[in-house]
Amino acid sequence: MQELKTTSVVLDAQAITRAVTRITHEILERNSGIEKLAIVGIVTRGDLLAAQIAQRIRDIEGDQVNVPVGSLDISFYRDDVTLRIAPEIFSTNIPFNIDGMTIVLVDDVLYTGRTIRAALDALMDYGRPRAIQLAVLVDRGHRELPIRADYVGKNVPSAANEQVRLFLEAVDGRSSVEILKVAPGEHIGSAPLGTVALSKSANSEPLGAVTKDRDASSTSSNLSTSNDINDENVEQGGASK
């Protein structure tokens, strides 16, 4: 596959930090605190942002505050799961009861809305939350489903042949949101986990569910997903996420 070329950087590391901090304040204000609040991030980037939001909440509310944080893999809930090959499955880790909770669902880039639709289906298999709110770092438009984020870090106008990607220091060696040009026919997907992540222990810092779920490999041969399980963009003519 041809390497994608960055055409512009729309958020640098400091801008990402400011956006995450602002989203955190908005979450606390809207929910009047953290009572019955939990954060769940969609792998492979939303879970990392969810961990950052949880840390910001502790910074604001005090270290004694403990907001439940989980990670959600939506691979087998995608509407294009049967069209994809070479599956790469990650762990879902929601170590708390979501019944009656307000869940803030976190993702990196909101595009067609199909990832969020899949995430809602996946989340409801774990219980019946009181409410689900959506927080995204970037909204790039081009919606195909009636889905809108409650919290947005930045609206980024984009063309259909462009990729909007979040890179994070923990897994990519840099933190930025970049627009990349995609050649006709090339698959448009979220950035795969970088080599930095492979050298880190899963317990070294709260990065979310970075490790693969090896137990799912036996079933993955009968289902098809792309290497980019959390792509918010798809090649034209194919199913959108």
Domains and CATH numbers, the chain: 5-200 (3.40.50.2020)
Position 76 confidence tier, pLDDT thresholds 50, 70, 90: confident
Q: Where are the beta strands (DSSP E) in the chain?
A: 5-11, 37-42, 69-72, 102-110, 131-139, 151-155, 162-167, 176-181
Q: Could you tell me which residues come within 8 angstroms of residue 26 by beta carbon, excluding any fewer than 6 positions away? A: 151
Residue-wise pLDDT tens digits, 36-61: 999 999 998 999 999 999 999 999 99
Is residue 51 classed as helix, strand or coil in its secondary structure? helix
Give yes or no for a contact between 143 and 174, defined as CB atoms under 8 angstroms apart: no
Give yes or no for a contact between 146 and 113, defined as CB atoms under 8 angstroms apart: yes
> Would the pLDDT of 202 be above 60?
no
pTM: 0.77
